[in-house]
Every structure is written in C-alpha cells, then in structure tokens.
Chains A and B, each alone.
Chain A
Amino acid sequence: MKLRRDVFQAISDPTRRAIISLVALQALTPTAIAENFDYSRQTISKHIQILTECEILEQEQKGREIYYHLNPIGMKEIADFIEPFRIMWDDRFNRLEAVMKSRIHEHKK
C-alpha cells in the first residue's frame, strides 16, 4: 500500500493542505498557487510535485501555462478522502447535540 502511505504524508503537511484547499476551488498555475504563500517558489514547487505524485493534483496544459486541479477520482479511491467530510459532519452533529442538551438543562431548571 505505497500509494496509501504517500497520500497520508501528502495531507499531513499544513502547506500541502492549504494548496489542496486553494486548488479545490479552482484550477491554478504554480505561480498563482505560490502567490498565496510566503515560501520560495521552489518550496511550493516541491509541495506541488509531491501532491501530483500522489495523484491528488493533476496537471493540465492550457496554452503556454500549466494548471493544477484537484483529482477527485484519484482521491476517491482512498477511503480516507471521506475522512475530512466525516469530521465536518461529526463536528456539526456534536454541535447539534450540545445545543439540544443545553435545551434539556434549561427545561430542568
């Protein structure tokens, strides 16, 4: 399961997660991605390379520019693609539980 471990490594880094978040919204050139960070262009390129190797990002040639976009199919193959989505719902439901529990307590007062 080499791919699996690589993907975990890919999303364990905060900068790479930030890149994923940016590219999830729209396809971007490496320059456009790098503009969002204070790191050197070289550092960002390295992160992009790792994400591409893990098949989280995909390259697309448009004219003279290379654009990167998120590869949902590649990520979908990994069960853990769902994990952030699950956490999002878990947080939401925890909030629901807390809101309704405080309601019970108010009633008992």
Chain B
Amino acid sequence: MEQKTNINAQEGKQELIITRAFDLPVELVYKAYTEAEFITQWMGTNVLKLENKSHGSYEFETSHEGNVMFKANGTIHKLISNQEIVRTFEMENMAIGVQLEFLNFEKITEDKSKLTIQIIYKSEKHRAEQLKLPFAYGLNMAHDKLEEILKPII
C-alpha cells in the first residue's frame, strides 16, 4: 500500500520535503493550518498568537500538568488562501534552529488534496538534529507501529 505521508531527505542537503495525501478538500487542510481552534486540536498545542497575514507572527505553547513543555514561534511571510503559506518556524531551546517552510496546498479532487512542505534548515547538521527528534520524544509513542514495520524485516 502506498504511504500517505512521505519524507524525502536527500544526502548532503539541508532540506526536507514532507508530502501528505489527505482525504479532505484542500480548503479544510488550509483551515487546519490557519485557524487556532483546529491547530490546537490536531497539534495538541495552545495557540497564543496567530496573525494570518504577510509579516504576521505566531506563537504556540504546549503545557503538560501545568508545566510548559514546548514553545514554538515564527513569522508568516506570505499566505495565499488554499494554496500556499511561507513562514519561519522555530522550536525554542532546541538545537534545530530557525527553519524556513514552504507549504503548498493542492486540490486533487473535490474531497482529496495534497500538502507538500519543504523545510530548509541552517545546515545539514541542523537537519540531522530535527531527524533525531522522534527518538527523544515520540519514539515510545510510535514504537508499537515501528515494531509492526520492523517485524517482517528482522
């Protein structure tokens, strides 16, 4: 079965390309990125600020049991409804640094769409820090799935 989410990280480059096929109209995928209510629901983060305009900025904060676990911020450079977002993104206190993101929203059919995110890092080393992230955070959560994938190979 073809995977819905793909990551392309070419050797020697300082960029990542993430693609995802959605069973959703493109308008809803765009909404999921531009309306605080939805960002909170799918990213599990509080939206402190979100200015959807050129040169606007945004701030996210995730708390767990009263402690701030994660803070992120960025500047929106350009927005075209249901088509494109160009923005910076930075996770505070992380070795990954500021990244530049180009999000492209594509309509496939009335209720299918595709999202392509090109992320550019300061260097290849900064990109490697990003790829390390799930090992630090999400791996335990994802390990059952990882096992499913690994089992047939081992």
Contact = CB atoms under 8 A, between A and B. Distances in A.
Interface of A: 5, 8-9, 11-12, 14, 17-18, 20-21, 24-25, 70, 72-73, 75-76, 81-93, 95-101, 103-104
Given A84-B138, A93-B22, A100-B24, 9 more contacts: A11-B146, A24-B135, A82-B9, A84-B139, A88-B133, A88-B138, A91-B141, A97-B23, A99-B38
B140 A17 contact: yes
Interface in B6-62: 6-7, 9, 11, 18, 20, 22-24, 28-29, 31-32, 38, 41-44
Contact of B136 (A11, A21, A89, A97): A21
A86 B9 CA distance: 11
A83 to B, nearest CB: 7
Contacts of A103: 28, 38
Interface string B62-103: 000000000000000000000000000000000000000000
Q: Which of A86, A98, A104: most chain B Cβ within 10 A?
A: A86
A76 B130 CA distance: 11
Contacts of A17: 139-140, 143
Contacts of A91: 138, 141-142
A88 B136 contact: no
Interface residues of B, number: 45
Given A89-B7, A97-B22, A99-B32, A12 B147 contact: yes
A73 B4 contact: no
Nearest to A72: B128
A41 to B, nearest CB: 23
Q: Which of B5, B31, B43, B129: most chain A Cβ within 10 A?
A: B5
Interface string B132-154: 11111011111101110110011
Nearest to A93: B20
Contact of A76 (B128, B138, B149): B128
Contact of A86 (B6, B31, B32): B6
